[in-house]
Chain A
Amino acid sequence: MEKRFVYADNAATTEISKPVMDVLCNTLSVYGNPSSLYDLGGKSLMVIDSAREQCAKAINADTKEIFFTSGGSESDNWAIKGMASVMQKKGKKHIISTAFEHHAVLHTLDYMKKQGFDVTLLPVHEDGLVRLDELKAAVREDTGLVTIMFANNEIGTIQPIAEIGAFCRENGIVFHTDAVQAVGNVEIDVKAMNIDMLSVSGHKIHAPKGVGMLYIRKGIAIDNLIHGGGQEKGRRAGTENIASIAAFGKAMELATADIPSKIAKVSKLRDRFIDGALKIERSRLNGDRDKRLCGNANLCFEGVEGESLLLLLDMNGICASSGSACTSGSLDPSHVLLAIGLKHEVAHGSLRVSINENTTEEDIDYILEKLPPIIERLRAMSPLWERIMKENA
């Protein structure tokens, strides 16, 4: 096949789509301060209100429950730190989460531990799924917050959010979920699923970077993270990023317009890739095969290291990612892969291919054509592969 460019790192970020770009460009000139009295400001307010409606509708929330932020990390920080302050006043100090959360949650929880909170991280098992009975067992009298991601960013496993939500609601525990990866890939109904807080990031759904939202259910009181002016009903200060918010609203509308069709189309391509890639000797799929995002494939290839794999894929025009130590910026490979029980040396050889509705069958076949010889080439020069072959001879 002729050399092509295949972007398969949509879990990292996405391209701004044409309709979203149009909204973004058309609203960049809307500059009036939405807090001002004159008509110019009113126009800006209308743009924001309309985006708020789109966002609310996308997750079956009320508009008063949508708060625009700078993105997923801020939303996660706000939900956890804001709730922790409230817990402290009530004498509660226990937070439950999982071992494979995004760092925006995990590192915030590390910070909360330094502030005197107790944090329990639930195991996620080999399939990358939380067990409801283990959550139940972890609950204490002073548990004030459960924060569990909707779908994992590396291995794409989708958690039993409705069950967790129902359990938390029954027991009066506030439930936050980081839905950055899930929005647009899974039907989300915050009412039916009993979700109290939910984080979303714009740039994962074809909106620009630097915009997102936190849904906070009516009646849930959390402290502010960003203090200042009275924007966002006095709960998140800062003059609104009008154009990005408008673009984000449009992106939310489009991402949730027809999720079943997207799942049908994209999961077929994902399965084509997984089946093809698993034909490679000593490879494995990470995370449950079925309870995973329609666009996520995460595999390990023994005897190769992830970064060199990515560099060779890039030379062939393929953008993907890996959880190897070299790409995680530390000595350890991805905490997600370690959390599902992989050995360091296996986790170093991971590859995440994250596709979306723009991916074609030709793209998948192109990756499947390029990948096996790249693995073969790296294995041919790998002393680790040599050892694996000797041990299994």
Chain B
Amino acid sequence: MYTEKVMDHFANPRNVGEIADADGIGEVGNAKCGDIMKMYIKVKDDVITDVKFKTYGCGSAIATSSIATEMIKGHTIKEALELSNKAVVEALGGLPAHKIHCSVLAEQSIKAAIADYYTRQGIDPEPIVGKIPECEGGHCHI
């Protein structure tokens, strides 16, 4: 069902954990749907210097968050905002159709963390990051 790359990132997830003094934290998904992703970022001079994640969810949810952290670490915020779920899926060598929503969550968790970073800086994140869909309470049809 899963590619070798997915299984590798699931079995050996990169950048798992928390950042105690994170500059931005983003959480998307909800328990009812069965997946929650939480992203922590450290930012210096517009560059994401460190990133960590915690995920509750299926194999592909863990794998997508893991590879997404690798894809933004050391990159600028602008580059991180350009990371699409499609790029995440491609980097994993593909995902089963019903697991694509995991890659969307990965993209959104990064955006949510960056939005939080801007909010902490006193900058309205919405014009830069866009709106992150609310998922609480119901089913995430993404």
* A interface residues (Cβ-Cβ under 8 A, vs B): 303-308, 311-312, 315, 324-326, 329, 331-333, 343-345, 348, 378, 381-387
> Are A305 and B32 in contact, CB atoms less than 8 angstroms apart?
no
Near A by CB (< 8 A), chain B positions 1-49 give 7, 10-11, 13, 16-17, 27, 31-38
Sampled A-B contacts (20; CB under 8 Å): A305-B57, A305-B58, A307-B58, A311-B7, A311-B10, A324-B34, A324-B58, A326-B34, A331-B141, A344-B31, A345-B32, A348-B34, A381-B54, A381-B62, A382-B36, A382-B54, A383-B37, A383-B54, A383-B55, A384-B31
Instruction: List the A side residues contacting B13 at CB < 8 Å.
Output: 381
- Check if B94 is an interface residue, CB within 8 A of chain A: no
- Interchain CA distance A311-B36 in the complex, whole Å: 18
A322 nearest CB neighbor, chain B only = B58
- Interchain CA distance A383-B38 in the complex, whole Å: 7
**6 A-B pairs closest in CB distance:** A345-B31, A307-B58, A326-B58, A382-B56, A384-B56, A348-B34
B101 nearest CB neighbor, chain A only = A331
> Are B59 and A311 in contact, CB atoms less than 8 angstroms apart?
yes
Given contacts A308-B62, A344-B31, A383-B27, 20 further A-B contacts (CB under 8 A): A305-B35, A305-B56, A306-B58, A308-B57, A311-B59, A326-B58, A331-B139, A331-B141, A343-B32, A344-B32, A345-B32, A345-B34, A378-B56, A381-B13, A381-B16, A381-B53, A382-B55, A382-B56, A383-B37, A386-B54
Instruction: List the A side residues contacting B38 at CB < 8 Å.
Output: 383
Instruction: List the B side residues contacting A305 at CB < 8 Å.
Output: 34-35, 56-58, 61
- Interchain CA distance A361-B101 in the complex, whole Å: 41
**B36, B54, B57, B141: residue with the most chain A Cβ atoms closer than 10 Å:** B57
- Looking at the assembled complex, report how far the CB atom of B76 sits from the nearest CB atom of chain A, in whole angstroms: 26
- Looking at the assembled complex, report how far the CB atom of B137 sits from the nearest CB atom of chain A, in whole angstroms: 11
* B interface residues (Cβ-Cβ under 8 A, vs A): 7, 10-11, 13, 16-17, 27, 31-38, 53-59, 61-62, 98-99, 139-141
**A303, A306, A311, A387: residue with the most chain B Cβ atoms closer than 10 Å:** A311
Query: Contacts A381-B62, A383-B56, A384-B56 hold; do A308 and B34 have CB atoms under 8 A apart?
Result: no
> Are A315 and B11 in contact, CB atoms less than 8 angstroms apart?
yes
- Interchain CA distance A312-B32 in the complex, whole Å: 22
- Interchain CA distance A315-B59 in the complex, whole Å: 12
Instruction: List the B side residues contacting A315 at CB < 8 Å.
Output: 11
- Interchain CA distance A304-B34 in the complex, whole Å: 9
- Interchain CA distance A304-B141 in the complex, whole Å: 21
- Looking at the assembled complex, report how far the CB atom of B141 sits from the nearest CB atom of chain A, in whole angstroms: 8
- Looking at the assembled complex, report how far the CB atom of A328 sits from the nearest CB atom of chain B, in whole angstroms: 10
A385 nearest CB neighbor, chain B only = B56
Instruction: List the B side residues contacting A385 at CB < 8 Å.
Output: 56
A329 nearest CB neighbor, chain B only = B98
A386 nearest CB neighbor, chain B only = B54
- Interchain CA distance A320-B99 in the complex, whole Å: 21
- Looking at the assembled complex, report how far the CB atom of B115 sits from the nearest CB atom of chain A, in whole angstroms: 17
Query: Contacts A308-B10, A308-B62, A329-B98 hold; do A381 and B31 have CB atoms under 8 A apart?
Result: no
> Are A325 and B34 in contact, CB atoms less than 8 angstroms apart?
yes
